A and B are shown apart, each in its own frame.
Chain A
Amino acid sequence: MSTPARTSRRSGIRGGEAASGWLFTAPMIILLGMFLVIPVLMALWVSFSDWNGRGSPFSASVSFVGFDNYSALVGGGGLAEQDFGTALRNNAWYVILVVPIQTMLSLFLAVLVNRQILRGRGFFRTAFYFPSVTSSVAITVLWLFLFSASGAVNKLLAFVGVNGPNWFNDPSGVLHNLLGVFGVTTGPAALTGNTFLGISFWEWLAGPSVAMSAFILMAVFTTSGTFMLLFIAALQNLSGDVVEAAMMDGANGWQRFWRVTLPQLRPTLFTVLTLGLIGAWQVFDQIYTGTQGGPGKTTLTPAYLSYQAAFTNQAWGQGAAIAFILFVIIVVFTLFQRFLLAERKVSARRMRLYVQTPTAGGSK
């Protein structure tokens, strides 16, 4: 972009454009600044201060404490660190299970209801999308009923001879329970003896608790409808000729999906995974309305812990610090995911599938 071009544009007949551009965007910039940028910056300051919740965080009595709030969380050795570690552990399991499952399920549903041959497509689309438009609070309440000790889910399980757990009151980890079936109830000393963020590696590997599993099911149930919609939109934008070409080349349905359709869905896949990751790391309302972190702190999540630290324990700096650590985690995960899904040159090994060498072409 050369300087003369710019100058001429400014002084010329279009000189007022930049000014009017700013003018038209100003209301939104001011609104976003007031209600988003400023509060975020204030929270950042609070996370580095000893503000105790009274009066302005910028008053003279509030002082800068450096990384005190952060170090209490990641190396304080006290209850704050232990709670934060527990919350991260719980949420990590939630993310690990929710994000892949909801992405696969929503893609599966989208492919399913996108088929021309399916009767009553409209009905199925509505039905699958329905949970997404219902408020998460309402669904949580419904879930508490469904998964209570004598609820519908356990009745159903009893019908097939399974004695269902007391879902929302069972703090035991699913992986630990699985290991317990094989008689492993305590981990090796290497796992139980060493800790990270105040909880032992054995506890990190406990898996989601039974209570958290119910929340995981709920998240998958409520969000896959939304993401299904994104996938349907993407699927309908794909032109049919590429698939037809693949068909002519003799690719079967499975190959067409994996080698032709899925690569073309990459931008949507990125959107869905990113939104899924962010949503899953920020899980709050289900916890707030449902279990409040119980049983045994196994549904405690960083977002809820941040709220609790600030509003009930008056540890405002710590609450803000948790929020910013969570922010960093989400950004790192998103970047990592973008790196994984980035367009790359086709590897030499893969290339062989596409390049027709005379011999390979002849042997088909």
Chain B
Amino acid sequence: MQRRNSRWLIGAGLTVVGALTLSACGSGSGFSSDTADSGGELTSDSSQGLSILIGSSGDAETASVNVAVAAWSKDSGTDAEVSVASDLNQQLAQGFAAQKPADVFYLSTDALAGYASNGSLLAYGDQLANKDDFYPSLVSSFTYDGKFYCAPKDFSTLQLIINTDLWAAAGLTDADIPTTWDELATVSKTLTTGTQVGLAVGGEYARLGAFMAEAGGSLMNEDSTEATANSAENVAGLEYAQSLLNDGVMAYASDIGAGWGGEAFGKQLSAMTIEGNWITGAMKNDFPDVNYTVAELPAGPEGQGTLQFTNCWGIAADSPNQAAALDLVEQLTSKDAQLTFSADFGPMPSIQSAADDWKSANPTLVPFLDGADYAKGVPNVQGAADVVSDLNAQLESLKTGDAQAILDSTQKNLEALLK
């Protein structure tokens, strides 16, 4: 018996060694990983075409990006191919691990820190010709460790969406559009009936955080170096939201049988909601009969506030043709391209020079863009996504919870990330 065991071990050992040798051959340069120096010269192997990986919201976006990239490809003479990711984070991670990432890709704020810190990303922000045209708050969202990593692709802000028919039915006029917290509470109460609640929001930081911003708070300071989650301002913001919930004039979308605020609003389960400009597409496709208007969120004790969400065009440090990639990104973030994107699938341009054109093309959505002046970004420190999802889990029971205790635990978790 002894013998048989040892033979088996030898066999298995040989297999392992053999397979290791094989896999070592396959991985090629895997053992001599060289980190591209982001400050130096860009690679420009013009024999290589570009691959572009996007996380698309739908056919309209895919088609629009395809057209824009094809136009650039024709002008520049460099091949470029767009592919749509089914799971962007996973496909990016696989690409980086194999050192064969897409050259250009969508990148979210919460994924930035992870990829930036392991050297996967090219910090090309300062080399952009249109660098100064981006909204400063967007630039800070994509600045990690003092380096501006990638060009903001577009952005969205949260504002108040109002059902005009229900508004009129409750006897309210344009003059009643709330500008303060007290007024919001009052109109929410007026709009709350047996079949609908005044205001429905998603029960998560990405919506309730707007109240925290209105109270003058945010989870972290501007450049994500200090945690400010349990500040008195944030507590005041959450407690205001809590009071609306307990008065029954505001409800979480999930508690009234909707997946998100837009669905609750579209199904007329609520007369108002707080959502970003992506709601326009959902209203057009799913609830074309609901009439609505967009108003700026009411000001809190510290003035106006809202949250902004954005993505950027990442360029891989391992890309063989970074120069072409940079040129493509400049093209895709140009005024014309961004206005076309906006017309095709709705996001707001990330550059200030396109603002006036966008406002005149979308007169009813102006409040969203106006929000850019006072919007706050979400934290982009590595691991922040985890902390925010923990905060979200706790916010689900905000109604009966203790705002201070919830924010204290978030503060503790954020501080742990900064160590």
Are B118 and A58 neighbours in the complex by a CB distance under 8 Å? Answer: no
A295 smallest CB distance to B (angstroms): 5
Q: Which of these binds chain A: B17-25, B278-286, B371-379?
A: B17-25
CB under 8 Å from chain B, chain A span 299-352:
310-315
Q: Which residues of B are found within 8 Å of A34, using beta-carbon distances? A: 19, 22-23
- Which residue of chain A has its CB nearest to the CB of B119? A54
Are A83 and B15 neighbours in the complex by a CB distance under 8 Å? Answer: no
Cβ of A363 under 8 Å from chain B: no
B250 smallest CB distance to A (angstroms): 16
Q: How far is the CA of A166 from the CA of B396 in the complex (A)?
A: 13
Say whether, besides A29-B15, A312-B89, A314-B118, A294 and B393 are in contact (CB < 8 Å). yes
Cβ of A150 under 8 Å from chain B: yes
Are B30 and A58 neighbours in the complex by a CB distance under 8 Å? Answer: yes
- Which residue of chain A has its CB nearest to the CB of B254? A169
Are A54 and B99 neighbours in the complex by a CB distance under 8 Å? Answer: yes
Q: Which of these binds chain A: B220-228, B320-328, B381-389?
A: B381-389
A 23-60 binary contact with B (CB < 8 Å = 1; else 0): 00000011001100110010000000000111110111
Cβ of B397 under 8 Å from chain A: yes
Q: Which residues of A are found within 8 Å of B96, using beta-carbon distances? A: 53-55
- Which residue of chain B has its CB nearest to the CB of A32? B15
Say whether, besides A22-B11, A37-B15, A38-B20, A58 and B31 are in contact (CB < 8 Å). yes
Cβ of A131 under 8 Å from chain B: no
Q: Which residues of B are found within 8 Å of A296, using beta-carbon distances? A: 393-394, 396-397
Q: Which residues of B are found within 8 Å of A310, using beta-carbon distances? A: 93
Cβ of B114 under 8 Å from chain A: yes
A 132-151 binary contact with B (CB < 8 Å = 1; else 0): 00000000000000001110
- The number of residue pairs between A and B whose CB atoms lie closer than 8 Å in the complex comes to 119
Cβ of B357 under 8 Å from chain A: no
Q: Which residues of B are found within 8 Å of A83, using beta-carbon distances? A: 386, 390
Are A314 and B93 neighbours in the complex by a CB distance under 8 Å? Answer: yes
Cβ of B413 under 8 Å from chain A: yes
Choose from A58, A149, A294, A314 the contact partner of B257 (Cβ within 8 Å).
Answer: A149
Cβ of B33 under 8 Å from chain A: yes
Q: Which residues of B are found within 8 Å of A171, using beta-carbon distances? A: 393, 396-397
Say whether, besides A53-B97, A313-B385, A166 and B254 are in contact (CB < 8 Å). yes
Say whether, besides A29-B15, A38-B23, A55 and B386 are in contact (CB < 8 Å). no
Are A79 and B416 neighbours in the complex by a CB distance under 8 Å? Answer: yes
Cβ of B169 under 8 Å from chain A: no
Cβ of A297 under 8 Å from chain B: yes
Are A169 and B255 neighbours in the complex by a CB distance under 8 Å? Answer: yes
Cβ of A126 under 8 Å from chain B: no
Interface of B is mostly: helix
Are A56 and B386 neighbours in the complex by a CB distance under 8 Å? Answer: no
CB under 8 Å from chain A, chain B span 377-412:
382-383, 385-387, 389-390, 392-394, 396-397
Q: Which residues of A are found within 8 Å of B257, using beta-carbon distances? A: 148-150, 166
Cβ of B111 under 8 Å from chain A: yes
Choose from A6, A61, A314 the contact partner of B382 (Cβ within 8 Å).
Answer: A314
A 45-89 binary contact with B (CB < 8 Å = 1; else 0): 000000011111011110000000000000000110011000000
A109 smallest CB distance to B (angstroms): 34
B325 smallest CB distance to A (angstroms): 18
Q: How far is the CA of A294 from the CA of B394 in the complex (A)?
A: 11
Cβ of B47 under 8 Å from chain A: no
Q: Which residues of A are found within 8 Å of B33, using beta-carbon distances? A: 54-56, 59-61
Q: Which residues of B are found within 8 Å of A169, using beta-carbon distances? A: 254-255, 396
Cβ of A1 under 8 Å from chain B: yes
B 120-154 binary contact with A (CB < 8 Å = 1; else 0): 10000000000000000000000000000000000
Are B114 and A313 neighbours in the complex by a CB distance under 8 Å? Answer: yes
Are B97 and A59 neighbours in the complex by a CB distance under 8 Å? Answer: no
- Which residue of chain B has its CB nearest to the CB of A172? B397
Cβ of B48 under 8 Å from chain A: no
Choose from B19, B97, B111 the contact partner of A55 (Cβ within 8 Å).
Answer: B97
Are B16 and A53 neighbours in the complex by a CB distance under 8 Å? Answer: no
Cβ of B1 under 8 Å from chain A: yes
Q: Which residues of A are found within 8 Å of B1, using beta-carbon distances? A: 1
Say whether, besides A33-B15, A61-B33, A171-B397, A311 and B255 are in contact (CB < 8 Å). no
B 155-188 binary contact with A (CB < 8 Å = 1; else 0): 0000000000000000000000000000000000
Are A54 and B118 neighbours in the complex by a CB distance under 8 Å? Answer: yes
Q: Which residues of A are found within 8 Å of B416, using beta-carbon distances? A: 78-79
Are A38 and B16 neighbours in the complex by a CB distance under 8 Å? Answer: yes
Choose from B19, B118, B387 the contact partner of A52 (Cβ within 8 Å).
Answer: B118
- Which residue of chain A has its CB nearest to the CB of B257? A149
CB under 8 Å from chain A, chain B span 224-261:
254-257
Q: Which residues of B are found within 8 Å of A79, using beta-carbon distances? A: 383, 386-387, 390, 413, 416
Cβ of B360 under 8 Å from chain A: no
Are B93 and A53 neighbours in the complex by a CB distance under 8 Å? Answer: yes
Are B385 and A312 neighbours in the complex by a CB distance under 8 Å? Answer: yes
Q: How far is the CA of A61 from the CA of B34 in the complex (A)?
A: 10
Cβ of B6 under 8 Å from chain A: no
A31 smallest CB distance to B (angstroms): 9
CB under 8 Å from chain A, chain B span 49-71:
none
- Which residue of chain B has its CB nearest to the CB of A36? B19
Are B93 and A313 neighbours in the complex by a CB distance under 8 Å? Answer: no
Q: How far is the CA of A294 from the CA of B397 in the complex (A)?
A: 12
A12 smallest CB distance to B (angstroms): 18
Q: How far is the CA of A148 from the CA of B22 in the complex (A)?
A: 50
Are A53 and B120 neighbours in the complex by a CB distance under 8 Å? Answer: yes
- Which residue of chain A has its CB nearest to the CB of B90? A311
Q: How far is the CA of A129 from the CA of B396 in the complex (A)?
A: 38
Q: Which residues of B are found within 8 Å of A82, using beta-carbon distances? A: 390
Q: How far is the CA of A190 from the CA of B99 in the complex (A)?
A: 52
B 252-274 binary contact with A (CB < 8 Å = 1; else 0): 00111100000000000000000
Q: Which residues of A are found within 8 Å of B114, using beta-carbon distances? A: 53, 313-314
> B residues engaging A (CB < 8 A)?
1, 3, 11-12, 15-16, 18-20, 22-23, 27, 30-33, 35, 89-90, 93, 96-97, 99, 111, 114-115, 117-120, 254-257, 382-383, 385-387, 389-390, 392-394, 396-397, 413, 416
> A residues engaging B (CB < 8 A)?
1, 6, 22, 29-30, 33-34, 37-38, 41, 52-56, 58-61, 78-79, 82-83, 148-150, 166, 169, 171, 293-297, 310-315
Closest 4 CB pairs of A and B: A314-B114, A56-B30, A149-B257, A52-B118
8 contacts between A and B (CB under 8 A): A6-B3, A34-B22, A37-B15, A38-B20, A53-B96, A54-B96, A169-B254, A310-B93
Known: A53-B96, A54-B33, A314-B111. 12 other contacts (CB 8 A): A33-B19, A34-B19, A38-B16, A41-B16, A53-B120, A59-B31, A79-B416, A148-B257, A149-B257, A171-B396, A171-B397, A314-B382
